[in-house]
Chain A
């Protein structure tokens, strides 16, 4: 065997590791089972309420983080997709124009379609300008929801009149913290698995290449706009899933679900957890919620403590806490 052959063989396991769907599916299944066991073991409703909120927000952060990971851009407007999913269900139920199942489907389709249409224009714009455009779109929807009181209830929000059953399951199940934790956890596990599969696919590797060097990607023969649009669209779809879960759980929506600060929080979660990992933002969301809860017990200015955590992570662990853990794991496992 020549040195070259050896090098190719050495590179092969890296590719094989990335593309092992059976292992990934087994991990996701194990995670779902563990979630169920955990929910069964925890008695505290307060803790489960906090955790369920954390997991739903973790799905939101995972969508935001996927955009950073694959497109290398930051969105301050993903609350628009989240809030649009929430309001779609709320308004459909308020006016009784369709069954809840159709409303949920529409709540997934509308934000995804908006992201695709918007993406055709805004992904061409780099860096900070992209972030500002997402902020503008998100805030436009927020302002609309605030001002259009007759339709949205304005600042007072809307109570969502959910039917007794959703997809044949009792609605009360979706509003029980223990049960909803299991549902949300399972959805998060499946979302992470699906996004990991996308990231490891030829499409995911292409978008990573475009993120690295868009010009070079064009000069090896790729149109670069559509892949970037599709990443934005997929990320919005994930965020819309979180919006659907939020609405089913809370049965109430207000303009807060469209506000830029929600996008900002998701971004902070992604950075704390590590946006270069598919599961990093979800990890960051859980840390964020517990840090917020604990800091809230100490001071009403809990945002200052989150700010300090963010600064420390950005300065000392630019790969995020999840990234640092992954490195430790690799070292422990002997992968350098």
Chain B
């Protein structure tokens, strides 16, 4: 580990024509930390996740994983190096059964922990069902399970609680926090549910219009007037 960070984005810029989705953003997450990434719609949160995970093209800057420059690696090589992600919209293999898709994912992983993941995320009872035939909440958990196969070292989660009820969101958050602590995974979490973010994140980064607005512990973030004005309002 060259510089002590699990995942690091340095001076990341991405623009579409004259519009800057990200303007020179830098972020560094130490190993084992759960980092929240918040901001209003259009702040650049998902774009940053896309850049870090290898989904985005036409960006500038540097992406490092445990000190290694991975900016030129395609997504599948980043995944094999231990960088996994989930998606804002459920992104599973609709026509395959739950167990089939997890087994396919496991074949690309060094630690093929299919049964462990199914048990952790309460998917075991759904093993033989097609993803298209299970509920939305179960599909969200399957999406997360696909990211967790192989015990990745870094997990980029793009709104994992989107579309879930309050109870489901909190359950997911606490399952996640517990699992991350046991596996010592580093997490970068994009989430609009502030209760989830403030309850499980060690630190929070706030983006606004593609720029870094603030960074700190949950208590520090609550105390920054610009953040409250731009995003939080009275939600926390």
Contact = CB atoms under 8 A, between A and B. Distances in A.
B76 A222 contact: yes
B186 interface: no
Interface string B64-77: 00000000001110
A107 B92 CA distance: 41
Contacts of B95: 208, 212
A213 B91 contact: yes
Given A215-B91, A216-B91, A4 B125 contact: yes
B208 interface: no
Contacts of A205: 96, 100, 103-104
Contacts of A212: 93-96
Contact of B84 (A3, A4, A219): A219
A316 interface: no
A7 B127 CA distance: 6
A202 B107 contact: yes
Among A8, A10, A15, A202, the most chain B Cβ lie within 10 Å of the Cβ of A8
Interface string B133-150: 000000000000011011
A209 interface: yes
B124 A219 contact: no
Given A206-B104, A213-B92, A215-B91, A220 B79 contact: yes
Interface in B111-168: 115, 118-119, 124-128, 146-147, 149-150
A113 interface: no
A209 B76 contact: no
Given A218-B74, A220-B146, A4 B99 contact: no
Contacts of A23: none
Contacts, number: 91
Nearest to B107: A202
Given A11-B128, A212-B95, A222 B101 contact: no
A46 interface: no
A14 B97 contact: yes
B109 interface: yes
Interface in B176-199: none
Nearest to B84: A219
Contact of A11 (B53, B75, B84, B99): B99
Nearest to B99: A11
Interface residues of A, number: 27
A287 to B, nearest CB: 26
A15 B127 CA distance: 12
Nearest to B119: A4
Contacts of B124: 2-5, 7-8
B85 interface: yes
Nearest to A206: B104
Interface in A211-263: 212-213, 215-224
Nearest to A13: B128
B101 A209 contact: yes
A2 B87 CA distance: 31
Contacts of A208: 95-96
A219 B128 contact: no
B174 interface: no
Contacts of A220: 79, 104-105, 108, 146, 149
A24 B4 CA distance: 55
A216 B108 contact: no
Interface string A2-35: 1111011011001100000000000000000000
B74 A11 contact: no
Interface of B: 53, 55, 74-76, 79-80, 84-85, 87, 91-97, 99-101, 103-105, 107-109, 115, 118-119, 124-128, 146-147, 149-150
5 contacts: A205-B103, A209-B101, A216-B92, A219-B55, A221-B105
Which 3 pairs show the lowest CB-CB distances between chains A and B? A4-B124, A221-B108, A11-B128
Interface of A: 2-5, 7-8, 10-11, 14-15, 202, 205-206, 208-209, 212-213, 215-224
Given A213-B94, A216-B92, 20 more contacts: A4-B127, A5-B124, A7-B125, A8-B99, A8-B115, A10-B127, A10-B128, A15-B100, A202-B104, A206-B107, A209-B93, A212-B95, A213-B92, A213-B93, A217-B93, A219-B87, A220-B79, A220-B149, A221-B79, A224-B76
